[in-house]
């Protein structure tokens, strides 16, 4: 479904929302271990999340690291997708047709449409906070280790 980059972005952001605060920043190393992702690649993705949409924040130096503000926890998951440039994924034709539209639909267009809209809805309505709380309360581990 999603690219590795997007999966890491979602997992990392949820983990950061769970564990971080302005005075408890998380290091790249901790994040990558927790969400089971390659550290260096994760670094690039976290850079996107700090730059492109300012979903998360970062501070360099000792006791530096990544954190997310309470305000930004209220952002929808959609913002994470935007940051890693995978926001248009659900907009695309499922058969990969460039010209597929309401007036020139592909054979799956109208059946895929409601599914597509549920997906968009899911990522537009769910906030980072909500996801991180679920990850807490239902002891859903982001951790991916065997």
**Dist CA 87 CA 129 (whole Å):** 19
User: Per-residue b/e over 16-29, b at no fewer than 16 CB within 10 Å?
Assistant: bbbbbeeeebbebe
| Binding-site string for DNA from residue 14 to residue 43, where x marks contact by CB under 7 A and - marks none | -----------xxxxx-------xxxxx-x
Token readout for 39 is 């550290």
Select 5 or 97, whichever has its Cβ closest to DNA. 5
65 near DNA, judged by CB under 7 A? yes
**Dist CA 71 CA 43 (whole Å):** 23
- Please select the residue that binds a second copy; options are 71, 109, 124, 127, rule is CB under 8 A: 109
Name the binder of 29 from a second copy, DNA, none, CB < 5-8 A by kind.
DNA
Complete DSSP assignment for 84-112: TT-TTGGGS-TT--TT--SSS--TTHHHH
- Helix, strand, or coil (residue 80): helix
Name the binder of 66 from a second copy, DNA, none, CB < 5-8 A by kind.
DNA
95 near a second copy, judged by CB under 8 A? yes
Q: What are the CA-CA distances from residue 51 to residues 38, 45, 115 (Å)?
A: 20, 10, 31
> Smallest gap, in angstroms, from Cβ of residue 71 to DNA?
18
46 near DNA, judged by CB under 7 A? yes
- Residues in contact with a second copy by CB under 8 A are 1-2, 4, 7-8, 10-11, 14, 89-90, 92, 94-99, 104-109, 111-112, 114-115, 118-119, 122, 126, 131-132, 134-135, 138, 140-142, 144, 146
């Amino acid at each position: 479904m999603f690219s590795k980059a997007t999966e890491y972005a979602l997992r990392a952001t949820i983990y950061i929302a769970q564990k971080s605060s302005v005075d408890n920043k998380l290091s790249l190393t901790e994040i990558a271990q927790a969400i089971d992702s390659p550290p260096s690649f994760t670094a690039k993705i976290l850079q996107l999340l700090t730059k492109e949409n300012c979903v998360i924040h970062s501070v360099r130096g000792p006791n530096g690291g990544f954190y997310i503000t309470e305000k930004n926890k209220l952002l929808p998951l959609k913002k994470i997708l935007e940051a890693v440039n995978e926001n248009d994924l659900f907009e695309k034709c499922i058969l990969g047709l460039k010209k597929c539209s309401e007036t020139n639909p592909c054979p799956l267009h109208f059946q895929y449409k409601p599914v597509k809209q549920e997906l968009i809805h899911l990522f537009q309505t769910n906030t980072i906070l909500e996801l991180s709380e679920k990850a807490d309360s239902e002891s859903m581990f982001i951790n991916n280790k065997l």
